[in-house]
A and B are shown apart, each in its own frame.
Chain A
Amino acid sequence: MKKLSPKITQKIVFSLLSLATLLAMVPVVLIVLIIIKNGLGAINWEFLTTAPRNGMREGGILPAIVGTFCLVTGAVVFAVPVGVFAAIYLNEYAKKNWLTRLIRLAIINLAGVSSVVYGLFGLGLFVIFLKFGASILAGAMTLAIMNLPVIITATREALANVPQSFREVSLSLGASKWQTIWHVVLPNAIPGILTGIILEISRAAGETAPILFTVAAFYLPGFPTSVFDQVMALPMHLYAISTQIPNIGLDVRYGTALVLLGVVLGVNSVVIIIRARLRRRQKW
């Protein structure tokens, strides 16, 4: 057999590559379209503003929305300060040594630990050892730890993008290291840090396994009054009505899936917009 000419080989390979990419993209488009198509009909004012009724077969999902809001807020409050400070350490203070290498390894591992193992950890540490019980506090802290790598990575990237000359000018004017970070480096890194925070919001809103044993209630129509209360949450609710309750209307399930997907993808779109603007604005 004659060998194909390199030009023709390239043509064949590139078409195969584009075909594979197309195939890889089909699921995301399909999932989003199927959920929008089937879920849109279920969404109305009542669905978004009332509690579930009749064994969750009717009514709305408000308590789950409120619960997810509480958990996400809590996760951001706990994770952002620690994550931003950790990124500052890595980018501004850390030297190239074994400790830095160890920290990097730890972050990669935090990002790789199974979500259900975070659930176990949260149960062991917060619910039982610290006696928070199954509560917003325990769930939010578990989610915060799980999402720490997201914040650290995004912030670190943002800090690394601030030109070294900015720091040098500030230091040469007599500012201390911290003053330089606070007044010069951080303000220039804010959009990048924001991206990390928003990504954390999207992750925290969608996670189920970490809140399974630490906070989530199967059915709890009221609203939380303190951080030691249990709450319902959107992903947990979708899991419950998809697998635990027989004879439930498909539209209620699709509706819940659409709200959850809408929150997560909406938040992610904000990230994409911020990043696009940032790229246009950055002059240095």
Chain B
Amino acid sequence: MLEKALQGEPRYWGWLVLLLVGIGAGFGAYSVQYQQGLSITGMSRDVSWGFYIANFTFLVGVAASAVMLVLPYYLHHYKTFGRITILGEFLAIAAVTMCILFIIADLGKPQRVNNVLLHPTPNSVLFWDMIVLNVYLILNLVIGWTILGAERKELPPPKWVKPLIYLSIPWAVSIHTVTAFLYAGLPGRGFWLTAILAPRFLASAFAAGPAVLILLAMLVRKLTKFDAGKEAIQTLAKIVTYGIILHIFFFFLEVFTVAYSQIPSHLTHLKYLYFGYHGHGGLVPFMWTALFCGFTAITLLVVPQWRKNEGLLGIAAVLTFICTWIDKGMGMISGGFVPNPLHEVTEYAPTGLEMLVTLGVYCVGALVLTVLYKVAITVKEYEELGGAAPAPH
């Protein structure tokens, strides 16, 4: 099937070349980091995780959100999602690929990463995160590829793939839960020490992932003959609506507990993020932007006429993405480290090289996504045309 990714129009190849340029830039920046160590990043003794881990966390959510398509389609036989479930599964593959690259980019000694397998340590959440992420990647590859292959041959998918699909549903929840456990079990970090961290992560993921899918489906419709269908997009929109409302609701649950109890080791982080702390407030404008985007998205999504207007829906999807990305990609990691356990403030901002490495990883993800979508959409287009032979090249 992969050969379908080798045929395309000039704009397809142009896009791939553009992505390769981005990957090259990221790789160049990474080789500087490899030579000079993580000193080229904005991370510090106090804020020891930064942009890489934040983006990793966000993308684990995007990967997990594939379950929002798989579950209705396979568990509830919601046929409308039949056409786009594969897009969700392939988005998950691209997202997990990026997650793994972000982890590697963040390691001080990437050449020793095998030590995690050579000295397996079940009491470390990172050990479990490695397992759930890799298994999730394999599950989605096997399921997506098998089902698409069967579809191409116009055969029903093989029976053995069913149990794997059922397994992939709780597994999707597990990847983001375990990722939340990375943070939620640390005794000295009041911002993360909350049982609602995993639900918060999942809610924002179930908003962000389907929002990305809505935008991708709109883009695919514009660029190819494949149309996901209005109804499928509208159902995704409803999922985003519930997701973003839950995300904001859970955020306020956290705010209440922290603000009403007024325990400083929990409260100071929120103060830093939303009002600034001891004269440091680098993230304040971003955090309020996120809240503003979240509320605007909710407004656009809850009113049925607005949600059904695809132009407004597109805007709501973009706003949802911005809201959840700032929340996880900027606030969630820095917020936990500032102030540090000694109540000292060291702020964090990524450096240019750090952002370039990040860009490179996103370009790898976009490349994987493009190639996989190209294969899937070529198969779907062929079906669309009622089995007519594809245009000769």
Does A associate with B in a complex?
Answer: no
Chain B interfacial positions (CB closer than 8 Å to A)? none
Chain A interfacial positions (CB closer than 8 Å to B)? none
